[in-house]
Structure 1
Amino acid sequence: MVRVIEYLTKTDPATAALLSTVEVATEQAELVDSPDLSPATPAAEPPFGMPAPYWLDLRAYDPVAVAATLDLPMLFLQGERDYQVTIDGDHLFFPGTGPSMPEDYTRPHHVDPEVITDVAAWLKSD
């Protein structure tokens, strides 16, 4: 959340008003990572109004460890331009060039044909 707000304020002049939000978002993110977060923390304090038990559960979840216990094929895909979920976790798979901007999310898109080809090849594989 903090990274997205900072990215927007640097790449899109129209979002300069978000600068004051960076401080609030940083405080909320720090609370989520803090040992002070407890089930009794008021829901208004963590990000997005999500209650503390949600964040505590998420903190305890290790998706890589869970995946390692599963005995089934898995396909992992990675895009490059999504500023909300970076190269470490891209999820849109829209083709494009240059820095990703908020307008990219509002225009209708189709999944990049290369992604469809990769998924189809994976599904056909043994």
Structure 2
Amino acid sequence: MDGDELTPQTPASDLPFGLPASYWFELRDFDPVAIAAALDRPMLILQGGRDYQVTVDDDLSRWRSGPAGRPEVDIRLYDADDHLFFPGDGPSTPAGYEAPQHVDPAVVTDVADRLHAQRS
């Protein structure tokens, strides 16, 4: 919610997911890249190439310039995947989330490998 039409009095019923205006105001100030960059922790950052909600051009570039470059930060791009890491062809759309699907096996493997490496 970035518009000027949002006020503290905006009813939750008029807002996405029925969440109150206070939530959307707090979200405006939330900067996950800055928070992650300040952490001294290993990170695995995953991005779907077909994601239209969190995009390669607008969002992944911020992650690449934030905590990236540190050896404990690993950024992976899955070109064929959407926001839910469902592989597909062509542009991703909301309708693509409706059909039952499986997460890209490469994503599952990469997360499992990372967790296994962290335990060792």
Give yes or no for TM over 0.5. yes
The answer to whether the 8 A contact 2:48-2:85 is kept is: yes
- Name the CA distance, whole Å, in 1 between partners of 2:43 and 2:91: 30
Corresponding residue SS for 1:75: strand
Whether contact under 8 Å (1:29, 1:46) holds in the other structure is no
Deviation at 1:29, TM superposition (A): 3.9
Structure 1 segments, 4+ long, off by >6 Å, are none
Q: Distance in 1 between matches of 2:21 and 2:29?
A: 12
Q: Distance in 1 between matches of 2:29 and 2:100?
A: 36
- SS in structure 2 of the partner of residue 125 of structure 1: helix
Structure 2 contact 51–92 (Cα < 8 Å) conserved? yes
**Count of aligned pairs between the two proteins:** 94
Q: Pick closer, same or farther for the CA change 1:101–1:68 going to 2, 3 Å.
A: closer
Find the aligned partners of 2:83 and 2:99 in 1 and give their Cα distance: 16
Separation in 2, partners of 1:91, 1:119: 16
2:4 aligns with 31
Q: Unpaired segments of 5 or more residues in structure 1?
A: 1-27
Bigger strand fraction: 2
Q: In 2 relative to 1, CA 118–62 (structure 1 residues): closer, same or farther, beyond 3 Å? A: same
The one-letter amino acid of 2:22's match is P
* 2:29 matches 1:60: yes
Larger helix fraction of residues:
1
Alpha-carbon distance in 2 for matches of 1:55, 1:68: 23
- Give the alignment's TM-score, normalised by structure 1: 0.57
Aligned to 1:114: 106
Q: Quick check: which has more Rg, 1 or 2?
A: 1
- Aligned partner of residue 26 in structure 2, secondary structure: helix
Per chain length, whose mean CA-contact separation is higher, i.e. which structure has more relative contact order (CA < 8 Å, sep 6+)? 2
Q: Give structure 2 stretches of 5+ with no counterpart.
A: 61-81
Amino-acid identity (%) = 57
Whether the 8 Å CA contact 2:12–2:21 is kept in 1: the answer is: no
State the superposition RMSD in angstroms: 2.8
Name the SS for the 1:123 alignment partner: helix
3-state SS of paired residue (1:115): helix
**Which of the residues 82, 96, 107 maps onto 2:88?**
96
